[in-house]
Amino acid sequence: MVLFERFELLDVFGPLEMLGYVPGLQITLLAEARGPVSSTPGPAAVAEHALAEAPPLDMLLVPGGIGTRKLVENDDFLAWLRERSTRAELVLSVCTGSALLARAGLLDGVRATSNKLAFAWVTEQGPKVLWQKEARWVWDDKYVTSSGVAAGIDMSLAVVEHLGGAELAETIAHRTEYEWQRDPHRDPFARIHGLVDPEPE
């Protein structure tokens, strides 16, 4: 999991709560420098590794948050993201984290989605991306992108199902008393934020 100043808390810890129950999966937090990284609401998380010292990564997860607005201009970060994503087996994003993947050129020609409230800004970061306006999450090749904040939990359970089977994913959802939205196409927020036409009355 990549951290940056003003990341969104639930983008990080919602998915990590789900993925943390997968046997054999070791989670690590990364940032430009080791140490505490402040979230948008305020509380900090501690990065265990600097990006330059990150261990090999089979899976990479990029959260969103208001800090993405600054990070899309950080060429060093985008180069690191491009290099590590190319080598990873799965690359995930939550919310506006897909803007970072798009700006790095990783989603060109790939179907992807993002936070619906910030959709206009996100899509500007990757004009060659096949942006999906109405989607809870989208899985295309090795890239898995979700809509805003809480959608990252549903996406993560889909990844758990891919890694360990449906029974494990359902067990985790029940253990955490989470009502898993398993349909990636169900996205009421696309209509709420005017990205698609309202349903006929």
Residue 36: partners with Cβ closer than 8 Å, 6 or more residues away: 44, 45, 46, 47
Rg (C-alpha) for the chain, rounded Å, is 16
Query: By three-state DSSP, how is residue 137 classified?
Result: strand
Residue 146: partners with Cβ closer than 8 Å, 6 or more residues away: 92, 93, 94, 95, 113, 136, 137, 138, 152, 154, 155
* Residue 200 binned pLDDT confidence (cut-offs 50, 70, 90): low
Q: Report the sign of the C-alpha dihedral through residues 154, 157, 161, 167, in that order.
A: negative
Query: What pLDDT, on a 0 to 100 scale, did the predictor assign at position 197?
Result: 83
Above 90 in pLDDT, residue 199?
no
The number of residues making up the chain comes to 201
Query: What pLDDT, on a 0 to 100 scale, did the predictor assign at position 101?
Result: 98
Query: What pLDDT, on a 0 to 100 scale, did the predictor assign at position 109?
Result: 98
Strand ranges inside 49-177, DSSP E: 49-50, 59-62, 90-93, 111-112, 130-131, 137-140, 143-146
CATH class given for the domain over 9-192 = alpha beta
Query: What pLDDT, on a 0 to 100 scale, did the predictor assign at position 107?
Result: 98
Query: What pLDDT, on a 0 to 100 scale, did the predictor assign at position 41?
Result: 93
- Domain chopping of the chain, boundaries: 9-192
As a whole number, mean pLDDT of residues 6-14 equals 97
Query: What pLDDT, on a 0 to 100 scale, did the predictor assign at position 201?
Result: 63
Q: Could you report the per-residue pLDDT of 94-144, keeping only the tens digit for each?
A: 999 999 999 999 999 999 999 999 999 999 999 999 999 999 999 999 999
